Amino acid sequence: METTEAFIVATVDAALAAQNAAVAAESMGLGICYLGGLRNHIEAVSELLGLPSLVYPVFGMTIGRPAEAPAPKPRLPRPVVYHEERYDVSRDAGLRAYDETVRAYYRERTGGRREHGYRELVARTLAEPRRAHMASYLKARGFMHDRGDGCGNG
């Protein structure tokens, strides 16, 4: 029986497997790139891959020898993302400093064509719905059918 929990577990398992593959590839000197953009054309990707119902691509992943060696993108500082026992809102202050770090990274990486900070990027990304077609796609693949249990899909 399909459940929301099974859907979440399968999606998380796919992400964890990919992360392990990424770590393994990088330990061998290879580069990786996750391809979330394939969900922009999820129907075509599913058809190309010949996916059966109740299967969907979470993301794509490339593995290979990088053509260039750009500086790694800075990540959020640990104190901002790591909390013990309870979420501590006061740690969000570290986002201001991270904004400047990301702004400098994009300025250098793009020759000044991108100069936004992290919070601006997140705000723009969340300002409009993205990939709204995913709900209808998942329903058509056999997921998310309302069975009257209040969970939306069983």
Question: Is residue 110 situated within a structural domain?
Answer: yes
User: How many degrees, rounded to 5, is the angle at CA 67 between CA 98 and CA 31?
Assistant: 60
* Residue 83 and residue 56 share a domain: no
Look at residue 43 and tell me if it is in a domain. yes
Q: State both tokens at 26.
A: 């990088």
- pLDDT digit string (tens) for the chain, length 154 residues: 567 888 899 999 999 999 999 999 999 999 999 999 999 999 999 999 999 988 999 999 999 998 888 788 899 988 888 889 998 888 777 888 899 999 999 999 899 999 889 989 889 989 988 999 999 999 999 887 665 444 444 4
Half-sphere exposure of 139 (CA within 13 A, CB side): 10
Do the domain assignments include residue 148? Answer: yes
Contact 154, 145 (CB under 8 A): yes
Domain span at residue 85 reads 71-116
With CA atoms as reference, report the closest residue to 41 among 57, 52, 53, 55. Answer: 57
Tokens 């059966």 belong to: 52
pLDDT (0 to 100) of residue 148: 47
Q: Total structural domains in the chain?
A: 2
Dump pLDDT digits (tens) for 5-23: 888 999 999 999 999 999 9
Res 146: pLDDT: 62
Whether 125 is in a domain gets the answer no
What pTM, to 2 d.p., does this model score? 0.72
What pLDDT sits at residue 151? 46
Q: Are residues 10 and 44 in the same domain?
A: yes
**Angstrom distance (rounded) from CA 81 to CA 90:** 12
